C-alpha cells in the first residue's frame, strides 16, 4: 500500500496518480490499494497466459488480496539472535544514509513496520546497476500496452532507473539488487566480495552475512558449503551474462568500515 508504482523500474503506475510520491502508513486508502490490484490482475497475462479480458475480470478477486497485504501482512521475524547494541549503531547509519531511498520504520520489536516510503526513482547514472530491465521498456512496448484495456487502469512509462525497494523481511529475500545478482548483504556492501557466479535454489541461509550460504573460490565462483544437500535443483547465476551484471549500489556504502557494515546488517535483521 506504500508503493505508488509497481516493478523494480516503476514502469506501471495507477492512471491519474503520481508515479513517484512519498506515502505514509497513515494514509493508505482502499482506493489506492484497489488501483494497485488492477495492475496486479493484469500481471496474469504474462504469468498465466490469459487474455486481457480475462485479466480484467480478475480485478475484483485481486483487490481483497492486495488489501490484506496492505493492512494485515507482516514479514516473518529474523529467526536468529540479534545483537541489540550493534543494531542500534546500524539504525543510526540506516537513518543517515539509507532511509531517504528505502523508507523509515517504526521503533520497537522486530519486525519493524515500514511507516514512510519515498517511492524514489534512482536514475541509472546514480545507481549504476545493470540497465537491461528498464531499457527494454521501449516505444513499441508502451504502444502495445496502451492499445489494450490495461490502459484504462495504468500508465506505463520508461523510467530510466530503478525504485529503491522496500526492505521489509530483507533477511529472507536474497539474492539482492533488482536482478538478483548479489547473494548476500555483506557482498552488497562489499563489492570486492561479490562472486562472479553462484548457485541459487535449494540453498540454506547465511544468518551472519545474510543471504545465500556460499563458499567462494579463488576464481570468484561460489558453491554451497560442504555437506549441504540442496532441497531443489540449483541454477548457476553467472554475472557475466547479459542483463545479470552485479555492479551497482557501490557508492552508498563506500565509506563504511567493516564494523559499520556489520552494524548496518544487524539493523536490517530487524525489518
The DSSP output letter for 252 is: G
What would the pLDDT profile of 36-47 be if each residue is shown by its tens digit? 999 999 999 999
| pTM confidence score | 0.95
Question: Distance between CA atoms of 104 and 39, rounded to whole angstroms?
Answer: 26
The number of residues in the chain equals 271
Instruction: Specify whether the CB–CB gap between 175 and 181 falls below 8 A.
Output: yes
Question: Distance between CA atoms of 155 and 18, rounded to whole angstroms?
Answer: 10
Task: Give the per-residue SS3 of 140-200.
Answer: HHHHHHHCCHHHHCEEECCCCEEECCCCCCHHHCCCECCCCCECEHHHHHCHHHCCCEEEE
pLDDT of residue 27: 87
pLDDT of residue 154: 96
C-alpha cell at 230: 540442496
Question: Distance between CA atoms of 121 and 220, rounded to whole angstroms?
Answer: 31
The ranges of the chain with pLDDT < 70 are none
Amino acid at each position: 500500500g506504500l508503493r505508488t508504482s509497481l516493478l523494480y523500474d516503476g514502469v506501471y503506475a495507477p492512471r491519474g496518480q503520481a508515479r513517484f510520491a512519498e506515502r505514509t502508513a497513515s494514509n493508505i486508502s482502499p482506493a489506492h490499494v484497489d488501483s494497485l490490484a488492477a495492475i496486479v490482475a493484469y500481471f496474469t497475462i504474462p504469468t498465466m497466459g490469459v487474455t486481457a479480458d480475462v485479466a480484467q475480470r480478475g480485478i475484483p478477486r485481486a483487490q481483497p488480496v492486495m488489501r490484506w497485504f496492505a493492512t494485515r501482512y507482516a514479514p516473518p521475524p529474523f529467526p536468529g539472535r540479534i545483537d541489540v547494541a550493534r543494531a542500534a549503531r546500524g539504525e543510526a547509519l540506516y537513518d543517515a544514509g539509507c532511509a531517504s531511498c528505502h523508507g523509515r520504520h517504526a521503533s520497537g520489536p522486530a519486525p519493524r513496520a515500514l511507516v514512510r516510503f519515498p517511492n524514489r526513482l534512482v536514475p541509472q547514472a546514480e545507481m549504476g546497476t545493470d540497465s537491461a530491465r528498464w531499457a527494454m521498456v521501449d516505444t513499441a512496448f508502451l504502444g502495445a500496452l496502451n492499445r489494450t484495456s490495461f490502459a484504462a487502469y495504468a500508465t506505463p512509462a520508461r523510467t530510466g532507473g530503478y525504485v529503491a525497494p522496500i526492505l521489509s523481511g530483507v533477511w529472507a529475500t536474497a539474492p539482492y539488487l533488482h536482478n538478483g545478482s548479489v547473494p548476500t548483504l555483506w557482498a552488497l556492501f562489499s563489492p570486492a566480495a561479490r562472486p562472479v557466479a553462484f548457485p541459487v535454489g535449494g540453498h540454506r541461509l547465511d544468518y551472519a552475512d545474510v543471504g545465500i550460504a556460499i563458499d567462494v573460490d579463488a576464481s570468484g565462483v561460489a558453491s554451497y558449503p560442504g555437506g549441504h544437500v540442496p532441497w531443489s535443483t540449483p541454477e548457476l547465476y553467472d554475472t557475466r551474462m547479459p542483463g545479470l551484471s552485479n555492479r551497482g549500489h557501490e557508492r552508498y556504502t563506500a565509506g563504511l568500515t567493516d564494523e559499520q557494515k556489520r552494524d548496518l546488517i544487524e539493523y536490517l535483521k530487524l525489518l
